[in-house]
Every structure is written in structure tokens, then in C-alpha cells.
Amino acid sequence: MTTAVIIVAAGRGSRMGGEVPKQWQMLAGKPVIAHTLAAFAGMQVVLVIHPDDMARAEGLGVPLVEGGASRDASVLAGLRALEGTGVQKVLIHDGARPLVTRGLIDRLVAALDAQDAAAPALPVTDALWRGDDGLVAGTVDRAGLYRAQTPQAFRLAPILAAHLAHPGGAADDVEVARAAGLDVAIVEGEETNLKLTFPGDFARAEAILKGRDMDVRLGNGYDVHAFCEGDHVWLCGVKVPHGRGLLGHSDADVGMHALTDAIYGALAEGDIGRHFPPTDPQWKGAASHIFLAHAIALARSRGYELGNCDVTLVCERPKIGPHATAMQAELARIMGVDAGRVSVKATTSERLGFTGREEGIAALATATLVKA
């Protein structure tokens, strides 16, 4: 069955204050209505707006319908726009509820398979009082009371008929539906499905959006350097005495290179070679901490912090264990993070392959970056 969404955004929002109606005010960098539309991405939408807001609504990329003088009239205008289009189910949603989730939307659409109407609500859990002149004048039994939300879901034909028959002045579409004798199923709503009404609601909504926006990135890196003549190797920033050296354009710190590439990878920023071309003589013999410091600074410039990283060195010799704590501390120092976020460990390859034959050292690294 074809489902469409009517988003009602024609109100003037007098309780919010400000010169711009609340659905057009900015929330986390874009208008409230843009968040609301994003919640229904991929669905057929009709946006009902006030005639004065036509210029604001251009560019939103959805069909626009001019609302009427009341909420009822605006909903009716939206329903009429869907009449005869083949749409059979309709969700009617307040534009000022931008945090509705796809989970709730899907539950409501599914409920229409068995019902003519379904709407989200949450049971009242606070005690309810009646007040008079600043004094408590009595308590109200909260048993069986719900806080109603939108979207409210209906089959199109019955809700259109119900609106046409209704005298007007309804609080919401459930009231209209019930007046026409439709049964409305209660679907569990969501605490986060706020209706932006007062100025303080914007701060709550932004906090909820920030929590949803958690951005965690993962990158991996792999590097190999061959042994050459020498008496030490640099591994994860630590000079380790060894009967050979490592061959490379820079100091050949294979572990730090793998870690640096992991961070670039998490940022989708290529690898060390992109940022420090080996053809550029200024990087010949460079200390690898320059590369690692650059990668972590790039991450921070994009708003990320290191979540954790894990480096594995693959070699028969030198033995890494005695140096692992110093390596962990040095990588943490270069990146400016707690050592508890940095792991350095090692394995042999059971004398198999090039590392087993002690022709070189390989290193693997993984890093996560978290939007700070």
C-alpha cells in the first residue's frame, strides 16, 4: 500500500517568540523543518506551509501545499492534495517535531495493516495537579492518561471523509478520526519525539541530535621495511639495539608508519606517501614522529580525537616485549593522548615468510577516531 506523509508547518508558533516561526528557526545548523523532512527521507511527502513562507520553502525539494487559517484546514488541504494519487495510507505529522525516528514511523505504518488509525503516545507518569492562582487545587487521577504525539497514521479515505465531516476546532487528527467513529490504536511513542514549543526546547533537541550524531571512524595501516646493515632499528619511536638496521627513505619506523596510515585511513586521507612524498628530498631520513604528529593534527582539525589504537609488530627479532611499554608511552606522547588509548604488541610469524626468514619487519595498526 502506498504511504504518504503530510507535514503540517503552516502555524505561526506564537509561544516560541522570535521573528521567524519555530519550524523555520535554526536547529543544529539547519531549519527545524529540514530535520523533520530528513526523518521521512525516501517517503512521499506533502509539506503544508503558510503562504508567507513560500520563499523559505523553495529549495526543500518536496511538493508544497498552502495551508488554511486553522490546523484542521491545513491538514484538509494536504489530504486533498493526495486524493486520487493512489496513496492509501497517510501519516500526519507536526513540522515542529523534528526528532521522530524511522523506528516509530515504521511501527505506525505497520499498525495500519490491522487498524484504520494508529497514533503514538506515552503514558503520563508524573502526578497531575489542577492549579488555581499558584496553589495546588487538587490532583487528577493519571490512570489511563496519555501524552499524544505525531505522526498520527490513518487510511486516507476514512480520514479525508472524517475531516470533511468535522465542524473544526479539533486538537489533533485523532480527535477528528474518533468523531467519525474510527478506532485509533495507541502505539508507544518516544520521549525524544519533542514538540518544539518553548525556546528551551531547542537546547534539548540539539543535545539529542548531538547524541545521535556520534561519528566513530576506523582505519587500518600496514607497512614493511627490509633489514639492512646497521646496529639498531627505530620501532614506535624507540631506538632498539639490533644486529641490523631497517632500510627506508625516512627512519624506517615501520610501526609508526602503520599507525600513521591507520589515522589517515580513518580520515579517508590516503597514506603517508600522499602527505610526505618520498620523491621530496626534505623527508629523506625524517623522523617518523613528524608524520604521526601531522596525522593526529589533521584528525583534530576535523574535530576528531583518537579513541584508541593498536599496533602489532611482526618479527622474530629483535624481541619487542622489553620495549613495548616505552613504545606505548612514546606513541602516546607524540599524539598527546593517554597511554591507556595506545597498545603496542608483537608476534612472530613462526619462522615463515619474509619476517620468519628475518628479511624485514612488518607492522599492522588499527585506529579509531571519535568526533569530539
What minimum distance in Å lies between the beta carbon of 257 and Mg ion? 4
Nearer to Mg ion, 173 or 223 (CB): 223
Residues 6+ apart with CB under 8 A from 263: 219, 221, 292, 295, 296, 298, 299, 306, 309, 367, 369
Nearer to Mg ion, 146 or 222 (CB): 222
* DSSP state letters, 114-158: T-SEEEEEEE--S-EEEEETTEEEEEE--TT-EEE-S-EEEEHHH
What minimum distance in Å lies between the beta carbon of 262 and Mg ion? 13
* Residue range at the interface with Mg ion (CB under 5 A); choices 49-57, 178-186, 256-264, 311-319: 256-264
Nearer to Mg ion, 93 or 257 (CB): 257
The residue count for binding Mg ion (CB under 5 A) is: 2
Nearer to Mg ion, 94 or 223 (CB): 223
* Residue range at the interface with Mg ion (CB under 5 A); choices 43-51, 218-226, 325-333, 359-367: 218-226
223 touches Mg ion (CB under 5 A): yes
* Class of residue 60 by CB neighbours under 10 A (exposed 0-12, middle 13-18, buried 19+): middle
What minimum distance in Å lies between the beta carbon of 267 and Mg ion? 18
CA distances from 105 to 22, 47, 91, 253 (A): 23, 17, 8, 53
* Residue range at the interface with Mg ion (CB under 5 A); choices 196-204, 215-223, 294-302, 340-348: 215-223
Nearer to Mg ion, 166 or 289 (CB): 289
The residue within the footprint of Mg ion, chosen from 97, 155, 166, 257 (CB under 5 A), is 257
What minimum distance in Å lies between the beta carbon of 254 and Mg ion? 6
251 touches Mg ion (CB under 5 A): no
Residues 77, 191: Cα–Cα separation, whole Å: 30
Nearer to Mg ion, 71 or 225 (CB): 225
Nearer to Mg ion, 23 or 355 (CB): 355
What minimum distance in Å lies between the beta carbon of 151 and Mg ion? 55
Residues 255, 266: Cα–Cα separation, whole Å: 17
Q: Which of 67, 62, 24, 23 is nearest to 45 (CA)?
A: 62
Residues 169, 189: Cα–Cα separation, whole Å: 24
Q: Which residues form the interface with Mg ion (CB under 5 A)?
A: 223, 257
